[in-house]
Amino acid sequence: MIHGKRLMVFSGEIHPYRMPVQSMHLDILQKIKAMGFNAVSFYVFWGIHEPKHGDISFEGFRDLQPLFDAAMKAGIYLIARPGPYINAETSGGGFPGWGTHTPGLWRTSNATYLEAYEGYIQTVGSLIAKNQITKGGPVILVQARFHFCAENEYSGVQEPYTEDFEYHRRLLQSLHDAGITVPITTNDAWPGGHFTSVDIYGYDSYPNGFDCSNPYTWKSDAVPEYFWGAHLEINPEDPNAIFEFQGGAFDGWGGSGYEKCSVLLGPEFERVFYKNQYAMSTTIFNIYMIFGGTNWGGISHPGGYTSYDYGAAIAEDRTLREKYYELKLQANFLAVSPAYLTSRPMNIFATQGSFTGNAALKTTQVLDAVGNKTGFYFVRQTDASTNAVQTYQLKLTTSIGDLTIPMIGGSLALNGKDTKIHVVDYTAGSTTLLYSTGEILTWATIDGKDVILVYGNAGELHETAFKFSGKIPVAKVVSGNGEIKQKALAGGSLALQYTTTGQTVVQVGNVLLYILDRTNAYEFWVLHPPTTGPYARFSTDNPVIVKGGYLVRSVDVSRGTLAISGDLNKTSSFEIIAPTASSRSVTFNGVPLSLSRTPYGTLLAKKAANLPVVNLPELSALKWKTADSLPEINPKYSDAKWTIADHTTTVNPNPRGTSVVLWAGDYGYHTGNILWRAHFSASGSETGFSLDIQGGTAFAYSVWLDSTYLGSWVGDSLTGEHQGTYNFPSFLKAGSAHVLTILQDHMGYEGDWWAASDSFKQPRGIRSYSFLGKGVLPQVTTWKLTGNLGGESYVDRTRGPLNEGGLFGERQGWHLPGFDDSRWGSGKPTEGISAAGVSFYRTNFNLNVPKGVDYPLSLVVSNSTTNIYYRAQFYINGYQYGKYVNNIGPQKAFPVPQGILNYNGVNTLAVSLWAAGATGAKINSLALQLTSKVESGITAIVNQPLTAWIPRPGAY
């Protein structure tokens, strides 16, 4: 219950750190709200807030307050998930890099771990506490994450750790100490009953898996029915809560791309799997992800690339997928079905053939256990993966006795991967639906009339029956081509039979019944004008129903004018169902609409989309400057300022084959490229060098002896550690001084999914090495390394600790706007370099995108098929918004949000190009492309600070 009202928490997951433009949060939250959701769940990534132990920062894009404020403006409650561990395909699963050189087993009650997170939890906890609903803010729940450790039956490796109740107790205590008073929740990885002593226990489920390469292949038994039994066993006193239910999938290097994930986890998945959860009376439901965002900078773990689109309902460029519109139907239905909130499934595991007599179908009967009246019948395929068509008649228990529907002849149909929710004795205002096989989209009482919207797939046969207390009225079609059959039933009821095709409006007594096919249903939006007070935008009163538009964000009512805010991708026809007194005139994005009235009293209008042409720069035609970004292989280069790798001990638990520690993390380098230098004096017998080096999946490395390129490991989609042998071109003179330079990737730290596994401590760097040859072999006299300038004391507080790596150009800040490249030579990334190495490129261009539109842009590359071994990073106004690996893929389009791109002024684009082949490399093509064009009610976007280059004292 929130503010005294029982509701379903219908929520979607976003990660604010994956959308660094804070003024963009409102756009995303409004889009979520417009689906009929009332909540958003979000992770906080500890690693970016405390990149150095004790240096806690919520500066710049890391500030959470803009998210809290946007939630109040959108009318969205928040579920805060501050970790400390988050997973989330984030580097180290959210742990800071320094965790890799901190003693003690993490995610346990080990004292060093408790000490490690305490400062962060206190800081983030008090920021969240200030924004709790009890303090006038949007936060309703806070999640503490535990995840029990591997037990015998799983792998045995983590014995003796199982559930660490002491850690559990201490973390809850820390959250309470920080002032958290709203209920604390936890998400069990499956309904396993771990850590149930939190206020609201819940679980996760990803039932359709993560193999996006076969998007049409479902497991036949994937729809979990045992969750209800688990709920009754574990926490019957709580709402049945799912804190993560699959909303897409993550994809990794060499993967199949997110469009395929959006098919595997598309509208059919939503209909089958989400409705299955509703069949188990789930009343806290969070979809992971609803908007995935971008792994810009070094956010990702090694199993992911720059995009974290996730195939979610809202794509990375913030456009809406069909699954968005499907979800809107479901969320809106549940939002107007209070009987669902007190319902219980009645026949778990006795669903096959029930109520239909058809063994190919499963039907769950869900009854309101409090009102004891309303019923919901969930009909779906027994084999979830089938595309077969099943016909059925349904036996219902109703307030007028047992009925078999349809009552007017024929049968109902379930077409392939679908689920139907048929309601019985369902209340819609002053109307009671005896039953409806057409699914309810929404209903509202407007100017004393009950408006009810039902839908089905195009051409399906459906029935809706009304219970009347007095005389049975005659139903008549008032708009549309559909035909209805009607039949009076016992007890003053009237059944209507129809097919769902297009839109047909039927008047029955005091009811307007909209009969819709799915395509028409997708076009409806349910909005609530704000009331007063801080929670004005959370109102669920006075609904207004709008049909039309790509998106309708919100409505406001003032002095008889209904002001609609939304987005249009083409000329749109609107039908508006609103109280007369609040819609005497109507505006869309501030423009008055000319209105006409339907015979049944609703408003019609039309609006052309204002989609001005914008001219985009042709990137290949711009003036580009270039400079060498690997001066380290030049004999004159001095590495005097580099970090000397001189640790002879480490607390990192991983096995090590070197006398000095050669793990970058031990020296404070946790992201981006790492460079190593091994100085030695030749013995004259050495013929080569071999090493075992680790960088994470898809990493690469290149090796030089002095200025001579020896070779590379170019990476593949599976390898995270590599043993390589590099022969020297000739014997070296005994006693001569040499240096090996090794450039490697850091693909992010592994996650730590099994608590107490410490898998995030897998190091990045050199595990062992040796010289090759017969006879006396040299010793490395000094190992040196560098990563990003400053390491944990990173330089760029605006863009945070993961944005820049250790390339020379990054250390110098060449990626930043305002760097003076006037003395650089001319050269383009599409011209590239002709030998192995690293080069940097810079250019500037202007954008001039008018206000009032939302035109997302992507940086798009095409695959090079000659000289394929290279990787590039793209910096837009200093933000690393793309890491492209030509020989692995799959990502070729890199969405960059407005706010990182300056849509009204100058932009700096910088590119680093690492050619890992002896004949060099070039980028085949590079272009800026629009991915969508809408006229938009989006609130003006404020650029994130696009701070310019300033001298970097001591940069080397």
Which sequence positions are flagged as catalytic? Answer: 153, 244
Residue closer to ligand IPT by CB (options 315, 414) is: 315
Buried b or exposed e, range 856-876, using 16+ CB within 10 angstroms: bbbbbbeebeebebbbbbbbb
3-state class (DSSP) for residue 266: coil
The minimum distance between CB 265 and ligand IPT, in angstroms, equals 11
The minimum distance between CB 764 and ligand IPT, in angstroms, equals 21
The minimum distance between CB 289 and ligand IPT, in angstroms, equals 8
Task: Look at the block and give the residue holding tokens 């669920």.
Answer: 540
**ω before 66 within 30° of 0 (cis)?**
no
Nearest-angstrom CA–CA distance, 404 and 414: 17
Are 246 and 288 contacting, i.e. CB atoms less than 8 angstroms apart?
yes
DSSP run (H or E) holding 934 = strand 934-935
Are 761 and 670 contacting, i.e. CB atoms less than 8 angstroms apart?
no
The minimum distance between CB 288 and ligand IPT, in angstroms, equals 6
Give me the sign of the Cα torsion angle 388, 393, 395, 396. Answer: positive
> Which range touches ligand IPT (CB under 6 A), out of 85-93, 419-427, 559-567, 706-714?
85-93
The minimum distance between CB 87 and ligand IPT, in angstroms, equals 3
Residue closer to ligand IPT by CB (options 137, 292) is: 292
Nearest-angstrom CA–CA distance, 110 and 100: 15
Nearest-angstrom CA–CA distance, 271 and 598: 33
> Which range touches ligand IPT (CB under 6 A), out of 83-91, 215-223, 630-638, 646-654?
83-91
The minimum distance between CB 20 and ligand IPT, in angstroms, equals 19
Structure tokens at 906: 């100058």
Instruction: List CB contacts of 328: < 8 A, sequence separation 6 or more.
Output: 34, 35, 36, 522, 525
Are 156 and 106 contacting, i.e. CB atoms less than 8 angstroms apart?
no
Residue closer to ligand IPT by CB (options 249, 630) is: 249
Residue 663 backbone dihedrals phi, psi, to 5 degrees: -110, 120
Which residue is nearest to ligand IPT, using beta carbons?
A: 87
Q: Does 87 bind ligand IPT (CB under 6 A)?
A: yes
Are 929 and 616 contacting, i.e. CB atoms less than 8 angstroms apart?
yes
> Which range touches ligand IPT (CB under 6 A), out of 29-37, 86-94, 685-693, 843-851?
86-94
Residue closer to ligand IPT by CB (options 88, 923) is: 88
Structure tokens at 490: 């016992």
> Which range touches ligand IPT (CB under 6 A), out of 81-89, 257-265, 556-564, 843-851?
81-89
Residue closer to ligand IPT by CB (options 189, 434) is: 189
Task: Look at the block and give the residue holding tokens 């188990």.
Answer: 280
Which of 204, 326, 450, 804 touches ligand IPT (CB under 6 A)? Answer: 204
Query: Of the candidates 675, 696, 638, 626, which has an alpha carbon nearest to the alpha carbon of residue 806?
Result: 675
Nearest-angstrom CA–CA distance, 78 and 271: 25
Which of 189, 287, 405, 506 touches ligand IPT (CB under 6 A)? Answer: 189
Residue closer to ligand IPT by CB (options 272, 287) is: 287
> Which range touches ligand IPT (CB under 6 A), out of 82-90, 422-430, 548-556, 578-586?
82-90
Query: Of the candidates 208, 193, 206, 76, which has an alpha carbon nearest to the alpha carbon of residue 146?
Result: 193
> Which range touches ligand IPT (CB under 6 A), out of 84-92, 150-158, 167-175, 427-435?
84-92
The minimum distance between CB 117 and ligand IPT, in angstroms, equals 17
The minimum distance between CB 13 and ligand IPT, in angstroms, equals 9
> Which range touches ligand IPT (CB under 6 A), out of 87-95, 615-623, 714-722, 829-837?
87-95
DSSP run (H or E) holding 285 = strand 282-288
The minimum distance between CB 206 and ligand IPT, in angstroms, equals 5
> Which range touches ligand IPT (CB under 6 A), out of 80-88, 357-365, 580-588, 650-658?
80-88
DSSP state of 504: E
Residue closer to ligand IPT by CB (options 753, 956) is: 753
Nearest-angstrom CA–CA distance, 96 and 100: 8
Nearest-angstrom CA–CA distance, 343 and 79: 24
Residue closer to ligand IPT by CB (options 89, 425) is: 89
Residue closer to ligand IPT by CB (options 87, 363) is: 87
* Rg from Cα positions in the chain: 30
The minimum distance between CB 320 and ligand IPT, in angstroms, equals 21
Nearest-angstrom CA–CA distance, 459 and 517: 8
Q: Does 867 bind ligand IPT (CB under 6 A)?
A: no
Binding-residue pattern over the window 276 to 315 for ligand IPT, x denoting contact by CB under 6 A: ----------------------------------------
Residue closer to ligand IPT by CB (options 189, 329) is: 189
Nearest-angstrom CA–CA distance, 60 and 63: 6
CA 603 remoteness from chain centre: 37
Task: Look at the block and give the residue holding tokens 């290149």.
Answer: 702
3-state class (DSSP) for residue 881: strand
Residue closer to ligand IPT by CB (options 89, 666) is: 89
The minimum distance between CB 383 and ligand IPT, in angstroms, equals 24
Strand partners, 455: 439, 516
Q: Which stretches of 568-685 are assigned E, i.e. beta strand?
A: 572-577, 585-588, 591-592, 596-597, 603-607, 625-628, 643-644, 674-681
Are 709 and 918 contacting, i.e. CB atoms less than 8 angstroms apart?
yes
Q: Does 88 bind ligand IPT (CB under 6 A)?
A: yes
Are 310 and 249 contacting, i.e. CB atoms less than 8 angstroms apart?
yes
Q: Does 244 bind ligand IPT (CB under 6 A)?
A: yes
Which of 22, 27, 74, 89 touches ligand IPT (CB under 6 A)? Answer: 89
Nearest-angstrom CA–CA distance, 86 and 84: 6
Query: Of the candidates 557, 573, 333, 597, which has an alpha carbon nearest to the alpha carbon of residue 452?
Result: 333
Are 307 and 366 contacting, i.e. CB atoms less than 8 angstroms apart?
no
The minimum distance between CB 138 and ligand IPT, in angstroms, equals 22
Task: Look at the block and give the residue holding tokens 């979830």.
Answer: 384
Are 363 and 394 contacting, i.e. CB atoms less than 8 angstroms apart?
yes
Residue closer to ligand IPT by CB (options 88, 434) is: 88
Cα dihedral value 615, 621, 625, 627, nearest 10: 120
Instruction: List CB contacts of 945: < 8 A, sequence separation 6 or more.
Output: 60, 798
The minimum distance between CB 93 and ligand IPT, in angstroms, equals 8
Count of positions on this chain that bind ligand IPT (CB under 6 A): 9
Residue closer to ligand IPT by CB (options 89, 268) is: 89
Binding-residue pattern over the window 205 to 234 for ligand IPT, x denoting contact by CB under 6 A: -x----------------------------
Residues found near ligand IPT in the complex (CB under 6 A): 86-89, 189, 204, 206, 244, 250
